[in-house]
Amino acid sequence: MVSLIKRVVRSDLWVDGVFEERLSREPDIEVVKFSIRGPAQFARSALSAAHVYHISAAKDELPREWFASAELLSMCPNLLCVSAGGAGYDTVDVAACTAAGVAVVNQSGGNAVSVAEHTLGLMLGVSRRMLEGDRRMRREVGYAREDVMGHELAGKTVGLVGIGNIGSRVAVLARAFGMQVVAVDPMLTPAEIERRGARPVSWDHLLAQSDVVSLHCPRDASTLKMMNAKTFAAMKPGAIFISTARGGIHDEAALVQALQSGHLAGAGLDVWDQEPPPLDHPLLAMDNVYATFHVAGVTHEARRNVAAIAAEQIVTVLAGQRPPRLINPEVWPTFEQRWAGMLG
């Protein structure tokens, strides 16, 4: 009996080689790659025959026409699964996928160690004013070391907004630096937050008492502009704001005002409304802002982990089995029916 070929389609944006190496070991899986700058007709043809679309999670790198939108899904009758190439899935309309009977998976946890390390790096850089010191050394002499004197992290309180795969690892690292860790997470019970290494507190308490507020929550309708003029004003005077989550969760204009007024001491930002931000962005002009280009999870180790997890989940889904990182679990009964009719 000849097995039906199961098609996995992805763009030519960079993916660690372990992804295709793993899928190549499955004799009935074929990977098709299209160029985001190539003929659109080739991409549409490939996607129209796809069973899995492995999509980049980078919203400002993938052209919008290749987002997993309702319009694109309508052209993909065989599509069973959209696999986001990271923990985030900003390029995927999950509701549209669910309506179409398409499972959505992400690769949460694959880059957690890298993002947690980057978070601590931002905290250290801002708290110890490392970036300011580096810049001044490169452009002037004769200033006093005390002009760039910072603060220790030891003894300070870090408030984690979200304590999932990444937040729980940040908690471990923060405690190693002698920090007190508090957290809010509406998805978890107080007992589970404690088990993950933080003291559960209210939102108001976290803002008012934390020396560092660090975001580790998803971007969705409930979190957009969650950090705004009101919430920045509620933060402890002299506190530091850190985000390695997603652009849009914090209001960039409000953050500028909070920093310019002196209410906040500094910020460490890996995520932006537009990535990369324009060179004339006011936050980039501030010496007390440590800015990086959504690279917290971009390490050799993290990219390899994410690619390996993605490949394994795709193999699982194409075998008709429930994957461990299913974003829309309510789709599963419909998915099973579609899979049975198509590949079963």
Tokens standing for residue 151: 């603060």
Q: Among all residues, which ones are annotated catalytic?
A: 246, 275, 294
Enumerate the domain spans of the chain: 6-108+300-342, 112-291
Ramachandran angles phi, psi of 289, nearest 5°: -115, 120
Count of residues in the chain: 344
Domain 6-108+300-342 has CATH 2.40.50.140: no
Task: Tell how far CA 21 is from the center of its chain.
Answer: 25
pLDDT for residue 329: 97
Taking alpha carbons only, the member of 237, 178, 184, 173 closest to residue 215 is 184
Any residues with CB less than 8 A from the CB of 307 and at least 6 apart, and which?
15, 16, 17, 18, 19, 85
Tokens standing for residue 271: 């995520």
pLDDT for residue 1: 39
DSSP string over 231-269? HHHHSPTTEEEEE-S-TTSB-HHHHHHHHHTTSEEEEEE
pLDDT for residue 126: 98
The answer to whether the CB of 244 falls within 8 A of the CB of 122 is yes
- Helix, strand or coil, per DSSP, at residue 94: helix
DSSP string over 194-207? HHTT-EE--HHHHH
- Helix, strand or coil, per DSSP, at residue 317: helix
Tokens standing for residue 326: 């299913």
Question: With a cut of 70, which residues of the chain have pLDDT below it?
Answer: 1-3
Q: Which CATH architecture has domain 112-291?
A: 3-Layer(aba) Sandwich (3.40)
Write the pLDDT tens digit of every residue in 97-122.
999 999 999 999 999 999 999 999 99
pLDDT for residue 221: 87
Q: Residue 334: how many CB atoms within 10 A of its CB?
A: 15
Check if 6-108+300-342 and 112-291 are the same fold: yes
Ramachandran angles phi, psi of 131, nearest 5°: -65, -40
User: What residue type is assigned to position 215 of the chain?
Assistant: L
Read off the pTM. 0.91
The residue written with tokens 């704001």 in the block is 241
pLDDT for residue 344: 78
pLDDT for residue 2: 44
pLDDT for residue 220: 85
